Amino acid sequence: MSNKAVVYINQFFGQIGGEEAADHEPEVRDGVAGAAQAIAPNFDGEIVKTVICGDNYMSSNQDKAVAKILGELEDVDFDIFFAGPAFQAGRYGNACGAIGKAVKEEFNVPVVSSMNVENPGVDMFKKHIYIFPGGHSAAKMRDDAKKMAEFGNKLLNEEGPFLAEEEGFYKRGIRHQYFLPDETPAADRAIDMLLKKINGEEYQSELPIPEQDLVEIAPAIQDLSSTKIALVTSGGIVPVENPDKIQSASATRWGKYNIAGQDKLENRASNKYKTIHAGYDPAAADADPNRVVPLDALRKYQEEGRIGEIHDYFYSTVGTGTTEGEAARMGAEIAGELLEANVQAVILTST
């Protein structure tokens, strides 16, 4: 029985149109369409469906688009899902990652994509799907698609162990133990590394420590009585209906909620605020959201004149499983708003 693949491409590579067609709703066509042809020659099997979706449609209606595609694939028999290649196109990369992750979770099939290292989709989705380094533009279509197809063949033929360093896909932060084929014992590896380090030769640490991007602690504020303070949290406190649909883990979204004139945050039982954070027991935060976003205490300080002002909005996202890249982006976006509102200090609560 030959292997069956489904390929996802955007409106441009689906030959529907360029930017003017970016709102194209997802459709699933039989067989190979558009740039899915680039995968076909190197894939040992059959491309049974091609999914085409506008980049804008996917980014502004992601849940809807994903649900529609998953629905249409439900009765399709396939063994692997290819998305892209997406090159350096940010929205396309995001779309490939989002649909790829959803397909993997829903149908438990491997998902392979390709993106340029500059594509923000790499950091967002490399943990969830296999992403190969790709070119900047469609000039690299043939090479990038070939890598995807060939790795797809290996996956389906179970020609493991599929190490990042051997296959070439972006490292995903997924580390497992591995028996060295040459059985070099740890003592020999340690001595070898030591001698190389002593002699200034190149060596490979078996546990590379990720670069740390540490932020210097700001100097203390001398006079808080005239300071405007904002509350920001990664503890997932949101209005009970979670209007911004912030994810309970691995968040990519944040929300801001008006607290002007409120003495404190009312709780879940009052149908006002709750936590959607999946990384801690929500009971205490649901009973009293002020323990995560301490508006009640801050209002008292304000009454007593110890602080100047409280910003009219608090900002919230979820910190569990959230990638550093996403956290930094959300932090920069929130900081931009706070600076615009002349906020001078932030109380950032984690959980």
Among 40, 70, 193, 347, binds another protein (CB under 8 A): 193
Judged by CB under 8 A, the number of residues near another protein is: 38
Rg from Cα positions in the chain: 25
Among 76, 139, 194, 341, binds another protein (CB under 8 A): 194
Nearest one of 81, 94, 107 to 55, comparing CA atoms: 94
Task: Report the residue number, 64 or 197, with the smaller CB distance to another protein.
Answer: 197
Per-residue CA distances from 204 to 173, 196, 197, 211, 276 (Å): 17, 10, 10, 15, 41
Task: Report the residue number, 182 or 241, with the smaller CB distance to another protein.
Answer: 182
Q: Would you say 163 and 114 are in contact if contact means Cβ atoms under 8 Å apart?
A: no
Q: Does 127 bind another protein (CB under 8 A)?
A: yes
Give the CA count within 13 Å in the CB-facing half-sphere of 131. 34
- State the nearest-atom distance from the C-beta of 6 to another protein, in Å: 24
- State the nearest-atom distance from the C-beta of 198 to another protein, in Å: 5
Task: Report the residue number, 55 or 123, with the smaller CB distance to another protein.
Answer: 123
- Binders in 203-222 for another protein, by CB under 8 A: 203, 205-207, 209-212
N residues, the chain: 351
Q: How far apart are the first and last CA of the chain?
A: 51
Task: Report the residue number, 183 or 223, with the smaller CB distance to another protein.
Answer: 183
Strand partners, 325: none
Q: Does 350 bind another protein (CB under 8 A)?
A: no
Distance separating alpha carbons of residues 257 and 249, to the nearest angstrom: 20
Q: Does 245 bind another protein (CB under 8 A)?
A: no
Strand partners, 113: 83, 131
Q: Does 241 bind another protein (CB under 8 A)?
A: no
Q: Does 117 bind another protein (CB under 8 A)?
A: no
- State the nearest-atom distance from the C-beta of 182 to another protein, in Å: 8
Site string for another protein, 134-173 (x = CB under 8 A): ---------------------------xxxxx-----xxx
Binding segment for another protein (CB under 8 A), chosen from 38-46, 60-68, 177-185, 216-224, is 177-185
Q: Does 291 bind another protein (CB under 8 A)?
A: no
Nearest one of 74, 90, 69, 91 to 7, comparing CA atoms: 69
Q: Would you say 58 and 92 are in contact if contact means Cβ atoms under 8 Å apart?
A: no
Structure tokens at 331: 């932090």
Task: Report the residue number, 191 or 284, with the smaller CB distance to another protein.
Answer: 191
Give the CA count within 13 Å in the CB-facing half-sphere of 74. 6
Structure tokens at 140: 């690299």
Among 74, 179, 219, 260, binds another protein (CB under 8 A): 179
Residues that bind another protein (CB under 8 A): 127, 161-165, 171-180, 183-191, 193-195, 197-198, 203, 205-207, 209-212
